[in-house]
Copies of this chain bind each other. A is one copy, B any other.
């Protein structure tokens, strides 16, 4: 991804030409100015209906991907991380700003592939890159940041609106994303929109740092989550990880980061079999699992094992800046 041969590197063409190239690589997902790149700001029509959503997420070489990930996949991951945040509010993506902060020794062909991955993913999800910034970082470093706007036609689904008695659901299967899902996932845009349209759904977020860390954000004050460990939808990759490190498969499903699935709560009074039926007729190929409920006991752990009533020790997930 980096090269000692100056002619292969972005340093060989300088900033102005690099921006021209990037625009070319982005093709049809880069609209003309003033609604796109090329002026001091992008100029957008205000949204007509609903609320505006705004989110940002980055991918850093060495943190969010390594040299084993194809550049196209790393580029797509940048877009999909942000799409997952829009999905978690039940929104629809719109315009984005792309910031590339690169060591001067970054290979041009690597960056081209990275940007082509961005283009393909933007085309797939109807996102336009309307602006951004390019600047320099120390040699052999690379950070890309995206800011994504969206709209929300329904009410936005917040994290803070779950209540005691609500059931807890998760889409898909969890754990072991390090084996590939961390960049191969599909952001749950359609699913998030559908869930936001269902009044039974009380709160929602996407799973980025692992259930063990993220679920706490959905719990109201003085409540705990009663978890049906036997119901936890463990991925095959969680099993593989478990066979490698001899931790339980459920521990991987509970604590591994980067699932990019939707975690949400459903109101206590809901007819859950009708709700599940509605889901399965709309999304026949994506599992939806009830993994527990919110109760009003607050114990030492935010999570209790429904089978034993005892606290679960896995009350954490991925944290930047700590090696825990």
Contacts and interface: CB of A to CB of B under 8 A. Distances in A.
A133 interface: yes
Interface in A68-112: 84-86, 88-89, 91, 95, 97, 99, 101-102, 104
A288 interface: no
A45 B151 CA distance: 10
Contact of A321 (B14, B58, B149): B14
A220 interface: no
Chain A contact residues, majority secondary structure: mixed
Measured as residues with beta carbon below 8 angstroms from the partner, the interface class of chain A is 35 or more
A97 B56 contact: yes
Number of copies of this chain that the complex holds: 2
Contact of A89 (B41, B58, B135, B320): B41
Contact of A54 (B14, B15, B60, B131): B131
Interface of A: 10-11, 13-16, 18, 33-34, 38-48, 50-58, 60, 62-64, 84-86, 88-89, 91, 95, 97, 99, 101-102, 104, 130-138, 141, 143, 145, 147, 149-150, 152, 156, 158-160, 205-206, 213, 319-322, 324
Given A13-B321, A44-B54, A133-B145, 15 more contacts: A34-B158, A38-B159, A39-B89, A41-B150, A42-B53, A43-B89, A43-B152, A46-B47, A46-B50, A54-B97, A56-B131, A58-B133, A58-B135, A64-B135, A134-B320
